[in-house]
Structure 1
Amino acid sequence: MFSAPWLGNPVARQTIRLLVSVGLCGCVTWITHLQEPGWALITSVIVTQSSITETLSSGRYQLVGTLIGAAASILPITLMLYHWPLWQAFVVAFVPLAVLASWRPGTRMSVVTLMIATLFTTPNDPYLLPIERVLSILIGVGVSMLVTYVVLHEQARRDAFRNAALTVRQIVGMLTHAGRQDMDWSQIQDLNDACVLSLRKVQTAVEEARREHWRPLEQRDPMLAQLPKVLRQLQMDTLVVARAVLRGETRPVPDAAQASGVEPLSPGLMRGFDWIISRCEGEAVARTGEEYRVAAGVMAGLSDEAAQADEIMHFVVGILQTDLKALIHLLGQDDTAQA
């Protein structure tokens, strides 16, 4: 819809979403003649996040806390109508809510709502204040949800494939250093930790994508739905292969692996990894699909890659090759019609 380059900046996109959310919320409160529109505007600022998942979570906490606080405020308001002192009536409801907020931090808004409904006087019916507070929260949360879904959404699919490409690059780095044997096992583990972190970002983006549409992700984007599982298997295979290369050795000379016939990242495997990286980066830009015969040609180049002189290496590289083919097969499917 928009093609301005600066819209690719996450800060700029979130700024626009926040401004639209506050502006739209202000219009709704003006149309509905809400007596205290400020609370709705504050809610829209708090709830509007950069992702649907974060917005849903923040909105849920705001709404649940407000409903609990509004219901609890009925008691002190009633007691004050029977001429109880303000602070005594307030404490009767405040103490249980303080315990609840300490036990369930997500309900902290209930304490705020109780204070607003009890401590701030109003010339109107005192029971209207908690009701109006609930309406303000409903307006703020509803507008924030709408804006997060519609205005410059971050497209979790793009983030998932971008991080998938990064994960595969890190996998290649692990295999490269293991093959050269220029790192010890602890350094390989550090690389693996970074790889796991990227993989978690893929999983987070996929979970975000599940909330973007009412249709199940497995139906509208099977490639994306299966991506974390296949990538995770490839990452675990890589760690096993790296361990097999470095077994029983501390810091051998760089050419020792090649001299013994251990080649964890041969040309055929490297072509496969390069194709996967290119494919993921392409899907991060647009969902264009790919002819399966291209993927089939890449897989054909892996047919003899498990032929290692060392029996253990033959076994572990064979497993790596099998899961690599599974990932290539997944990315080679043209599922653009499912969108």
Structure 2
Amino acid sequence: MMEHDAMTAGAPAAPPPARWAAIRRLLEPRGAEIRQAARLLVSVLLSDLLARAVHLHEPVWSVITSVIVTQSRITQTLTTGRDQIVGTLVGAGAGLFAILLVQTGTMPGWLAFWLALTPLALLAAARPNLRFAAVTLMIVLLFPISGDPFLRPLDRIASILIGVVTSLVVTMFVLHDAARGDVLTASGRLIADIADLLDRALRGELDHDTIETIDEACRTHLQEIYGAVAETRVEGLRVLRRRPDPLLDVLPGLLRRLRGSAVFAARAATEAGELPTVDAALDAERRALARVLSQLSRRCARAARGRRLIAREDAAAVLAVLHPPGPYWSPPMQFTLGMLHDDLERAVRAVWSDGAALPYPEMNKSGG
């Protein structure tokens, strides 16, 4: 027992960074839905406290605005907040005009309301992002408060601005998802779909309709990638610090080209007589593509989880299984597979080097 205690006492303790990382993983809420719910609750609480701190007459509009504006992504919050502010200003202007008509006795309140609402309804039909203008008009005219009627729109504009600003700050800094991980996760899924497409095409299992169905899924992943890349450019005020991310600068374009080459090769493989009659050549190409794409997909998934990247020279070992298509392949398939190999090699080198390897080296100007 004493020997065991001595060994335990002499064992090295876990480094503090590792302990803190483990504690953070335990305390941090899991799941995008839970994080979004927490952000929404924090946004509602802060907007209510701020509205009451500046003594607004109706802080409830700040709370309602924060519920509307707080989104899971910063880009979505920015877009919704912008629409909310512009619509609020337009609606408040229309409300002031209607209040002026009523206060001067030009027309009754109901007629002034409909006169102001009609152009806003037409504006919302033409520009749906300005639908908040009609909502603001209704808030100004249909929910009266005591005091100067011309101060009503200003009070509610202040309430809405507090809700928008609070929502933006909370979305950016409270339990925000790392968009870079989202990019790499979606990239791994796209590469897995490409691997499945090529494997089934080289087995002769696909027709044009099935290829189109798989390609639609690949396009969806590409849209997710581009959306997440846009998110990385604004999260954590990175747009102000202008920190470059070489991998995210080139990865979407590389994967778009890889998808195009894979679909082109799959369509060519469905044509009669394009696949080689020698089974060994067909199986070797299929296994080589499956191996490289599988490693590339796993690499993206591992990078999305924040694991340390391996050395750049290992990319050459991954690509060593790819060989130029030989004479067993038809000329069209030699061309399409060669193009596919080139695009796959660029993607592998970019991911393995974390974007340090240029995917398209500049041509030597002295060489013509």
TM-score by length of 1: 0.90
CA distance in 2, matches of 1:217, 1:267: 44
Q: Secondary structure at the match of 1:3?
A: helix
Contact 1:6–1:12 (CA under 8 A) maintained in structure 2: no
Contact 2:250–2:355 (CA under 8 A) maintained in structure 1: no
Alignment of 1:40 onto 2:59: no
Q: Per-residue deviation at 1:315?
A: 1.7
Pair 281,217 (structure 1): closer, same or farther in 2 beyond 3 Å:
farther
CA distance in 2, matches of 1:326, 1:194: 22
Pair 219,30 (structure 1): closer, same or farther in 2 beyond 3 Å:
closer
CA distance in 2, matches of 1:292, 1:87: 72
CA distance in 2, matches of 1:134, 1:11: 30
Structure 1 equivalent of residue 186 of structure 2: 163
Contact 1:260–1:309 (CA under 8 A) maintained in structure 2: no
Alignment of 1:248 onto 2:267: no
1:277 to 297, 310, 314: 297
Pair 52,287 (structure 1): closer, same or farther in 2 beyond 3 Å:
farther
Pair 187,139 (structure 1): closer, same or farther in 2 beyond 3 Å:
same
CA distance in 2, matches of 1:301, 1:275: 12
Pair 46,258 (structure 1): closer, same or farther in 2 beyond 3 Å:
farther
1:81 to 103, 116, 137: 103
Structure 1 equivalent of residue 76 of structure 2: 54
Q: Secondary structure at the match of 1:301?
A: coil
Letter in 2 for 1:147: V
After alignment, is 34-43 or 110-119 more displaced? Answer: 110-119
Structure 1 equivalent of residue 234 of structure 2: 211
CA distance in 1, matches of 2:243, 2:109: 58
Letter in 1 for 2:190: T
Contact 2:206–2:270 (CA under 8 A) maintained in structure 1: no
Aligned length: 331
1:147 to 170, 174, 177: 170
Q: Unpaired segments of 5 or more residues in structure 2?
A: 1-20, 357-368
Letter in 2 for 1:228: P
Q: Unpaired segments of 5 or more residues in structure 1?
A: none
Q: Per-residue deviation at 1:313?
A: 1.9
Q: Per-residue deviation at 1:187?
A: 1.6
Provide Cα deviations, 1:18-57, integer angstroms capped at 9, x if missing partner.
1111011111112111110000000000000111111111
Pair 188,79 (structure 1): closer, same or farther in 2 beyond 3 Å:
closer
1:307 to 295, 305, 326: 326
Give the 5 Å matches for 1:216-255: 219-248=243-272
Letter in 2 for 1:198: H
Q: Secondary structure at the match of 1:4?
A: helix
Contact 2:277–2:328 (CA under 8 A) maintained in structure 1: no
Q: Per-residue deviation at 1:7?
A: 2.2
1:183 to 190, 194, 206: 206
Contact 1:266–1:305 (CA under 8 A) maintained in structure 2: no
CA distance in 2, matches of 1:196, 1:236: 10
CA distance in 1, matches of 2:240, 2:288: 36
TM-score by length of 2: 0.83
